[in-house]
Amino acid sequence: MAFHHTTPQKTRPNDAKLRELILLISEWCQPDEKFGAVKLNKLLFHADFSAFLTYSEPITGQEYFKLPNGPAPRRLVAITEAMIKKGEFAWQEVTYYGYPQKKPVALRAADTSKFSGPEVALIRQTVEKFWKMNATEISDQSHVFLGWKAVHLKETIPYNTALVSRRTPTDHEKKRGFKASGARRKASECCPLKSGPSSTMSALNTNWPTSTITPKGPMSSLTAR
């Protein structure tokens, strides 16, 4: 697999948009008996990474990290605690098929003016796509995502891993990859890599086939095959 590193990731966390996204998803998913804390995390993740894949920019720009149950916003706890203090949000303790569940509850309407029209449509599409899934099923979906597999527990999942594809490269793409690999190898022989993060990434790029990167489009890398 290969990561797309030609364009630096320029995303700044927007706490205000994360707050409104939490409220909007919680409001829309209130009738969903399967909606709990785990499912909220995954819907936030899918919305942000889908937006990055589709529009080259996430909705909230928040940092997501790897947890055993799948990706989650790193600042979710801090953000929701602040929202609880302001009376904007609450966790409702309920029982789902005999198991305890923390259900997110929006205590005010989300300010949708924070989002663009395409962002609102994408959020709605994300909610509808995973409506029938419970926490385990949507977590299993996120475990298929190569970005989650590529990092260690509690490490940040780069947004550009959304561009990684699981499909088999074509013969033409393999030839292009071999040519590019050969060119990089010759360049490294002429100009040896210096130690440091950037040189490590260059070495990784040499070893990974570059042809498995897919262009922007549907969320093929975020769904199970």
| 104-154 tens-digit pLDDT | 999 999 999 999 999 999 999 999 999 999 988 988 877 778 888 889 999
Length of the chain, in residues: 225
Residue 3 lies in a domain: no
Number of domains in the chain: 2
Instruction: Specify the pLDDT at position 8.
Output: 40
Same domain flag for 41 and 149: yes
Q: Are residues 60 and 125 in the same domain?
A: yes
Domain co-membership, 63 together with 112: yes
Determine the pLDDT at residue 124. Answer: 98
Q: First-to-last CA distance in the chain?
A: 16
Host domain of residue 199: 171-208
How far CA 193 is from CA of 3, 54, 183, 200, in Å, comes to 19, 34, 14, 8
Residues of the chain short of pLDDT 50, as ranges, are 1-9, 193-225
**Is 91 a domain residue?**
yes
Q: Are 79 and 182 members of one domain?
A: no
pLDDT value of residue 204: 32
Q: What is the pLDDT of residue 150?
A: 86
Residue 4 lies in a domain: no
Number of C-beta neighbours around residue 149 at 10 A: 13
Residue 92 lies in a domain: yes
> Is 1 a member of any domain?
no
Write down the pLDDT at residue 164: 76
pTM of the shown model: 0.71
> 147 and 200 share a domain?
no
> Are residues 147 and 39 located together in one domain of the fold?
yes
CA 69 – CA 214 distance, rounded (Å)? 26
Q: Same domain for 66 and 137?
A: yes
